[in-house]
Structure 1
């Protein structure tokens, strides 16, 4: 079992402990580390060694930058600490009240492309080691981005194509509909981009950390949990600024000072996203468990007593 997974096994089995770890891991300063420093930190974590404070914390650098299946450094833009600085302007642009369809589609294309890339880079790749991306997986990603882009822009498409002019319907399309739509699109993106994990299975481990085979049931559980966590991330991030805007518009003070609504809405997007990223990452354990009776029969015979572990991905 990879040293990163062993660390999550020992320290990340409760929500509060995972949240505390993720708050530390999402520090963007770790993005400045080189690949050589990352591999050194990963080796130190595996050997159980410690370094001087001036060299930084190898645990934080390893957990935030190394893929737990391949042991290689993640692409810089798809590391967890890069999620907020890159996705924040994209999320903000996707929630803007666009006047036409093209800007709405373009903002959604950027957001969904990055989301699909992040989901793919942080997937469980235990069954794909030594293999290149298949044509099927590439087409699946392209189709996911295309579908999610159109789905995310549906509110603006409805307004323009149906020539919606009524204020209540426009409010519904611009402020209410994007909330469940954002959650559904985020769930769909994870579920489709990582669908091969449920088809081919992911590596599972016994209570001692020894690999015992590949399980499709564990793959389905890992993808489902990650999809739910991503739906919570984007759903709540979409709900906070939209609902806040509706409340502020009813306030007498903000009716007289309408120019304040827009900057407060922008601030609320960044605040909600920044708060929800570590919370959503902590909803389910990175090293998940599945009951012995729920995996394949051949694995049940190979596993002794105790839980069966799997890497959930991110």
Structure 2
């Protein structure tokens, strides 16, 4: 088992522990570390034998693990491209969320949501579970093909309410409230979960590796892959659904109370609310499920059940 997964298994057993860890891992300053420094840190962790089996008390060791968690893929042991590391997700997705949440013409909404889903889907692809197997043709080609289809579909669905409203001239106050304030949140949440499920579909089609407590690979399980994808999709839906819904509701009351009277002031308040909700929801959504996922032996395929006597097995959930 990779050192990152052992760390998550030891230090991230509860939601609160995972939340505090993610708050540290998401530090944008970790993006400033060079590849050489990341390799040295990773080598130090591997050679020192400090792969944790109990909670770490040493701050220096913990900092080394935080750099490893933020920069290295636990399946491939490769350094993740800087734009797709966990600390880069908030700075890069925030402006895309702000622009996508603004109500434009349908074609502009399609374009902005296409860009938004392109980034989040690429992030999902790079940070997914890297142990899915495919014998038909290149797994990366298959996932990219699926991803492009999912991105296009999600962007179309995101722009559909505006197309519908303009086509049928449904511009009453109630319809504008529903289409512009209420619908975007569930649509974006569902489409975010949809793109995760599509781009990571090889994981539940071909299976992912499951390991025992000692890190020994017991087998490849489709059921574990399905659980990993489902958990990631739910966390992504919660993240962006809440980020769209809560600021829209709060802005409705701000507009009615006339706290901000000018369009510029309203825009500033809206940006502040979206930033606050996204920054708060990101570690919450990532902490909803363990990074080193657990699955009961009884829930796995018969061939895996017969290969081990352990009651619980582990897998990398991905982000």
User: TM-score, normalised on structure 2?
Assistant: 0.92
Distance 1:243 1:138 in 2: 36
Q: Alignment partner for residue 158 of structure 1, among 143, 156, 164?
A: 164
Q: Return 5+ residue gaps in structure 2 as ranges.
A: 51-57
Cα displacement string for residues 278-309 of structure 1 (whole angstroms, at most 9, x for unaligned residues):
11000000001111111011101112223111
Matched, 1:240 2:246: yes
Distance 1:313 1:217 in 2: 15
Matched, 1:281 2:279: no
Distance 1:91 1:252 in 2: 25
Paired residue for 2:42? 42
Paired residue for 2:27? 27
Deviation at 1:45, TM superposition (A): 2.1
State whether residues 152 and 178 of structure 1, in contact with CA within 8 Å, keep that contact through their aligned partners in structure 2. yes
Cα displacement string for residues 255-291 of structure 1 (whole angstroms, at most 9, x for unaligned residues):
x566532211110001111111111000000001111
State whether residues 133 and 206 of structure 2, in contact with CA within 8 Å, keep that contact through their aligned partners in structure 1. no
Matched, 1:297 2:302: yes
Distance 1:147 1:262 in 2: 29
Q: Alignment partner for residue 312 of structure 2, among 297, 307, 313?
A: 307
Deviation at 1:143, TM superposition (A): 0.3
Paired residue for 1:92? 98
Paired residue for 1:266? 271
Q: Once superposed, what is the RMSD of the aligned Cα atoms? A: 2.2
Paired residue for 2:149? 143
State whether residues 132 and 202 of structure 2, in contact with CA within 8 Å, keep that contact through their aligned partners in structure 1. no
State whether residues 207 and 306 of structure 1, in contact with CA within 8 Å, keep that contact through their aligned partners in structure 2. no
Q: Alignment partner for residue 177 of structure 1, among 178, 183, 203?
A: 183
Query: How many pairs align?
Result: 311
Q: Return 5+ residue gaps in structure 1 as ranges.
A: none
Deviation at 1:48, TM superposition (A): 3.7
Matched, 1:209 2:212: no
State whether residues 198 and 217 of structure 1, in contact with CA within 8 Å, keep that contact through their aligned partners in structure 2. yes
User: TM-score, normalised on structure 1?
Assistant: 0.93
SS of residue paired to 1:290: strand
Cα displacement string for residues 18-48 of structure 1 (whole angstroms, at most 9, x for unaligned residues):
0110000001111112222112222222234
Distance 2:269 2:236 in 1: 24
State whether residues 144 and 199 of structure 2, in contact with CA within 8 Å, keep that contact through their aligned partners in structure 1. no
Describe the shift of the 1:169–1:188 C-alpha distance in structure 2 as closer, same or farther (beyond 3 A). Answer: same
Paired residue for 1:70? 76
Higher mean alpha-carbon deviation, 72-81 vs 158-167, is at: 158-167
